[in-house]
């Protein structure tokens, strides 16, 4: 059995994917959800929840839609326990993404953060911008298959909500 690529998206890429529909980060998020295995950790989910709770998003996305997005990321992502820590990034707040990638045996990290991008490849794990990820020709799944029925359902779950029509639904 072939396994989908294991991918870490940093918080900025996830939030940009939510708040900027049709943007490069949104397209990268959809590609990851539809064809890869998104990896998450308690630290990443905590940061995502904290940032999405900021009032600055109120005029763009309802709190209900932000909470639903957080729940969906939690359901779709594979929760990876962090058993060993990393201290490698210029910005210590970004070490959580490197820890997630190593502990979760990630194939790739997607980020627009210059401190993370400067480390690419990190212990043989490429770190790409969302735009570079979308241009890459590497196979999404180890088998070379582009999409599975399960992956299609995951993508639909992430891009649909029951409360209203958010800006991130296309």
CATH number at residue 50: 3.40.50.1010
The answer as to whether 123 is a domain residue is yes
Alpha helices in 88-129 (DSSP H): 95-103, 114-117
The residue segments making up the domain with residue 29 are 6-158
Tokens of 168: 């991130």
Of 66, 72, 24, nearest to 166 (Cα)? 66
Q: What is the pLDDT along the chain (170 residues), one digit of tens a residue?
A: 567 899 999 999 999 999 888 999 999 999 999 999 999 999 999 999 999 999 999 998 999 999 999 999 999 999 999 999 999 999 999 999 999 999 999 999 999 999 999 999 999 999 999 999 999 865 555 433 333 333 444 444 444 433 333 334 43
- Whether residue 164 lies inside any domain: the answer is no
**Does some domain include residue 169?**
no
- Select from 55, 45, 57, 46 the least CA-distant residue to 18: 57
Q: Residue length, the chain?
A: 170
Asked if the structure places residue 44 within a domain, the reply is: yes
Question: What pLDDT shows up at residue 105?
Answer: 96
Q: How many CB atoms lie within 10 A of CB 55?
A: 7
pLDDT of residue 42: 97
Tell me the pTM: 0.80
Residue with tokens 């490849």: 121
Beta bridge mates, 7: 38, 108
Element (H, E) at 130: helix 130-135
| H/E run at residue 39 | strand 37-40
The CA–CA distances, whole Å, from 109 to 56, 59, 164 equal: 27, 30, 31
What's the number of domains the chain is made of? Answer: 1
DSSP secondary-structure letter at 169?
Answer: -
Confidence at residue 54, expressed as pLDDT on a 0 to 100 scale: 94
Residue 1 is assigned to a structural domain of this protein: no
Does residue 140 belong to any structural domain of this protein? yes
């Amino acid at each position: 059995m072939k396994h989908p690529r294991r991918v870490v998206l940093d918080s900025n890429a996830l939030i940009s994917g939510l708040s900027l529909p049709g943007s490069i980060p949104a397209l990268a998020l959809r590609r990851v959800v539809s064809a890869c295995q998104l990896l998450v950790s308690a630290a990443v989910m905590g940061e995502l929840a904290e940032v999405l709770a900021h009032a600055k998003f109120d005029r763009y996305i309802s709190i209900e839609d932000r909470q639903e997005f957080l729940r969906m990321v939690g359901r779709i992502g594979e929760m990876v326990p962090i058993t060993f820590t990393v201290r490698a990034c210029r910005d210590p707040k970004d070490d959580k993404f490197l820890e997630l990638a190593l502990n979760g045996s990630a194939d790739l990290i997607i980020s627009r953060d210059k401190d993370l991008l400067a480390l690419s490849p990190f212990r043989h794990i490429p770190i790409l911008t969302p735009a570079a990820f979308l241009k890459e020709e590497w196979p999404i799944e180890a088998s070379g298959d582009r999409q599975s029925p399960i992956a299609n359902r995951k993508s639909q779950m992430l891009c649909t909500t029951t409360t209203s029509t958010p800006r991130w639904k296309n």
